């Protein structure tokens, strides 16, 4: 680990926690842990997850971020990053989602893998990922940043649990046999018009390549992927700002899923 | 010489000499009518030199692209046989100023689209065939910067195009969300979906008919309609293979090669001396 002290790591976690708790975005934690020390940033992320687990939450999976070369270039990194999915982040197709639970939400369409067995080797390869995948689902990820104005560098987003917010899962599982995930067309529509388009190849060449990367990375850090975990494999196209209404993702050959954003709590507060 | 004819002469010269010019619209607004008149005059000059009109192309069919360019409507341009690159053929980059390439969907028109009734606009009759395509775009304006009127006069930045194997529309099936890859030298350069083309490329039929009626284009049966780009355009590399693949539809490619002619036969390249106009 670099120069960030234990006190700095705890201060960073406290800042992010307070932002989420109070619904007030905070200033970047790179002020506390630096702009480049990814190990320190993952340590902050782990502190945050430990706090949530102590509050009674449960780990249900992981998410992979920064899977597009264009986004990696924007962050000055050459690898993806990852975060942890907790039980209270998971929604199903068409289930209303209160926008008030987010600070500055954005959405992107992805492939979700659900594992049928552990992937615990730091040398996991794509064939093992394919063999271990119980089924795949179309998914919408809601990303969110606790950092004001999304003013983030790589350490800010990693510390902030890879800017995770929520996930919306389709409800029709597909076996991976016969699917070429690199060749899935993706369209994310809002009010009937595509607001983001892309394909499986946009995610590191194929979503399965991203999952293999994640499996190696987390196994190396002693937190291997376990049977039953959901893995959100990374965006298939550009992220777009979330707003009230239905965002409808269609993954050609895989299925569809809708995120229904509501503002009831906000209206209630105003009334 | 009318303003439109003068614009056409300047753009024609810029294209033939592969030398960029200043924007037409920099000082005063040209207006869309004059811009399309300039494009028609530009194409008339090419036809007078022996080129044959082979179809049309649409531009700004992606909402993201339109927003990026600050425009709010689709535009139409003219394709000629001199722009045609055979599938698997070669393109000489010296023929262009700052060429970019993008993957597209091409339709072969089954009816005269301008005169088509709404019923005849039914894809089952209006489309004779569909294919993956690559379009090379090249603005004749310096730094690829222009207004909507500028780019309309400049023939919607049309430069060259290649079309892959044609399929029947029934065999191809719906094209509203097919994965699209653009590869340069075998490496992925862009990944997208055909949904980026007007939400569904088949909507290009109605858009082309509307624009053709408004601005005086012929859309004859047997000509090509390039429906629009499925991904952002990328700079054309100095050499090597350019390939587009549309899932379930097929692939199309050409090589970038100095000294090639559009049909792939060896030649000395474009004649940059010839242009007395």
Interface residues of B toward A, Cβ cutoff 8 Å, are: 63-64, 176-181, 188, 191-196, 199, 230, 247
A218 in Cβ contact with A225 (< 8 Å): yes
Nearest to A200 among B179, B195, B230 (CB): B179
pLDDT, position B271: 42
Domain with residue B80: its CATH number is 3.90.850.10
User: Per the structure block, which two tokens stand in for B70?
Assistant: 């600050």
As a whole number of angstroms, the distance between CA A34 and CA A68 comes to 24
Question: Nearest-CA residue of chain B relative to A198?
Answer: B192
Is A195 in Cβ contact with B179 (below 8 Å)? no
Q: From the centroid of its chain, how far is CA B151?
A: 12
Question: Nearest-CA residue of chain B relative to A205?
Answer: B188
Confidence of residue B266 (pLDDT cuts 50, 70, 90): very low
Residues in chain A closer than 8 A to B63 (CB atoms) = 193-195
In terms of pLDDT, which residue wins out, A17 or B2? Answer: A17
Residue positions counted in chain B: 277
As a whole number of angstroms, the distance between CA A85 and CA A161 comes to 9
B104 in Cβ contact with B198 (< 8 Å): no
CA-based nearest residue to B96, from B51, B47, B161, B36:
B161
CA-based nearest residue to B137, from B110, B99, B175:
B99
Maximum CA extent, chain B: 50
Neighbours of A228 (CB within 10 A): 13
CA distance B115 to chain A (A): 28
pLDDT, position B272: 39
CA-based nearest residue to B38, from B160, B139, B144, B155:
B155
pLDDT, position B268: 40
Confidence of residue B70 (pLDDT cuts 50, 70, 90): confident
**SS3 label, residue B189:** strand
Name the domain count of chain B: 1
As a whole number of angstroms, the distance between CA A127 and CA A254 comes to 20
**SS3 label, residue A4:** coil
pLDDT, position A269: 47
In a domain? residue B222: yes
Residue B218 lies in domain: 3-256
Nearest to A185 among B63, B64, B194 (CB): B194
Hey, where are the domains in chain A?
59-270
- Strands in B90-91's sheet, in edge-to-edge order, are B90-91, B250-256, B240-246, B179-184, B187-193
B181 in Cβ contact with B245 (< 8 Å): yes
Is B196 in Cβ contact with A194 (below 8 Å)? yes
CA distances (Å), origin A192, targets A199, A253, A262, B97, B203: 19, 20, 17, 38, 14
Is A199 in Cβ contact with B180 (below 8 Å)? yes
Annotate A147-166 with three-state secondary structure: EHHHCCCHHHHHHCHHHEEE
What are the beta bridge partners of residue B234? B101
In a domain? residue B95: yes
Is A187 in Cβ contact with B179 (below 8 Å)? no
Which of A185, A192, A234, A239 to substitute to test the interface with B, most B CBs within 10 Å?
Answer: A185
- Give tens-digit pLDDT for A204-236: 999 999 999 999 999 999 999 999 999 999 999
Q: What's the CATH code, domain A59-270?
A: 3.90.850.10
Q: From the centroid of its chain, how far is CA B199?
A: 19
In a domain? residue B237: yes
Q: From the centroid of its chain, how far is CA A246?
A: 20
As a whole number of angstroms, the distance between CA A68 and CA A78 comes to 10
Question: Nearest-CA residue of chain A relative to B174?
Answer: A252
Q: What is the pTM of this model?
A: 0.90
Non-local (6+) Cβ contacts of B221 within 8 A are B109, B110, B111, B112, B128
pLDDT, position B275: 39
Residues in chain B closer than 8 A to A205 (CB atoms) = 188
pLDDT, position B64: 73
Interface A-B, measured as beta-carbon pairs within 8 A, has a size of 63
B227 in Cβ contact with B195 (< 8 Å): no
pLDDT, position B120: 83
Residue B148 has pLDDT above 70, yes or no: yes
Mean pLDDT of chain A: 95
In terms of pLDDT, which residue wins out, B131 or A2? Answer: B131
pLDDT, position A2: 58
pLDDT, position A141: 98
Residues in chain B closer than 8 A to A111 (CB atoms) = none
State residue B149 phi and psi, 5-degree precision: -60, -40
> Which alpha helices (DSSP H) does chain A contain, by range?
6-22, 30-33, 38-54, 69-75, 126-132, 154-159, 207-220, 264-270
In a domain? residue B274: no
């Amino acid at each position: 680990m670099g120069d960030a002290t234990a006190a700095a790591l705890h201060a960073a976690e406290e800042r992010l926690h307070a932002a989420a708790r109070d619904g007030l975005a905070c200033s970047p934690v790179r002020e506390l842990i630096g702009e480049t020390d990814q190990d320190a940033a993952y340590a902050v992320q782990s502190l945050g997850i430990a706090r949530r687990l102590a509050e009674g939450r449960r780990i249900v999976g992981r998410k992979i971020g920064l899977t597009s070369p264009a986004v990696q270039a924007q962050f000055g990194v050459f690898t993806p990053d990852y975060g942890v999915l907790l039980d209270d982040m998971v929604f199903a197709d068409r289930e209303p989602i209160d926008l008030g639970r987010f600070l500055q939400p954005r959405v992107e369409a992805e492939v979700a893998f659900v594992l049928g067995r552990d992937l615990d080797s730091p040398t996991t390869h794509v064939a093992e990922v394919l063999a271990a995948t119980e089924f795949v689902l179309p998914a919408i990820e809601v990303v969110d940043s606790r950092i004001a104005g999304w003013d983030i560098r790589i350490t800010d987003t990693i510390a902030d649990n890879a800017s995770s917010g929520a996930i919306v899962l389709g409800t029709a599982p597909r076996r991976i046999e016969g699917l070429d995930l690199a060749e899935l067309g993706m369209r994310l529509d809002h009010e009937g018009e595509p607001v983001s388009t892309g394909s499986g190849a946009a995610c590191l060449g194929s979503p399965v390549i991203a999952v293999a990367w994640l499996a190696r990375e987390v196994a190396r850090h002693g937190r291997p992927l376990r049977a039953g975990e959901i893995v959100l494999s990374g965006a298939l196209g550009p992220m777009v700002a979330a707003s009230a209404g239905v965002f409808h993702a269609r993954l050609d050959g895989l299925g569809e899923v809708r995120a229904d954003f509501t503002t009831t709590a906000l209206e209630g507060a105003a009334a | 010489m009318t303003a439109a004819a003068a614009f056409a002469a300047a753009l024609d010269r810029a294209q033939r000499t592969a030398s960029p010019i200043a924007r037409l619209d920099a000082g005063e607004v040209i207006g869309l009518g004059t811009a399309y008149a300039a494009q028609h005059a530009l194409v008339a000059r090419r036809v007078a030199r022996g080129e044959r009109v082979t179809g049309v192309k649409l531009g700004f069919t992606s909402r993201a692209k339109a927003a990026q360019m600050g425009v709010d409507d689709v535009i139409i341009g003219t394709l000629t046989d001199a722009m045609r690159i055979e599938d698997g053929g070669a393109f000489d980059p010296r023929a262009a100023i700052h060429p970019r390439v993008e993957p597209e969907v091409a339709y072969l028109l089954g009816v005269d689209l301008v005169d088509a009734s709404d019923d005849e606009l039914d894809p089952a009759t209006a489309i004779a065939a569909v294919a993956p395509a690559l379009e090379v775009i090249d603005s004749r304006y310096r730094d690829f910067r222009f207004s909507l009127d500028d780019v309309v006069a400049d023939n919607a930045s049309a430069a060259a195009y290649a079309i892959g194997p044609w399929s029947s529309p029934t065999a191809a099936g719906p094209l509203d969300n097919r994965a699209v890859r653009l590869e340069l030298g075998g490496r992925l350069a862009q990944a997208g979906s055909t949904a980026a083309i007007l939400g569904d490329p088949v909507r290009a039929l109605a858009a082309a008919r509307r624009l053709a009626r408004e601005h005086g284009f012929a859309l004859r049966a047997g000509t090509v309609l390039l429906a629009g780009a499925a991904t952002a355009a990328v700079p054309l590399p100095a050499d090597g293979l350019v390939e587009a693949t549309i899932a379930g539809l097929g692939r199309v490619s050409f090589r970038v090669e100095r000294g090639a002619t559009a049909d792939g036969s060896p030649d000395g390249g474009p004649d940059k001396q010839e242009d007395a106009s």
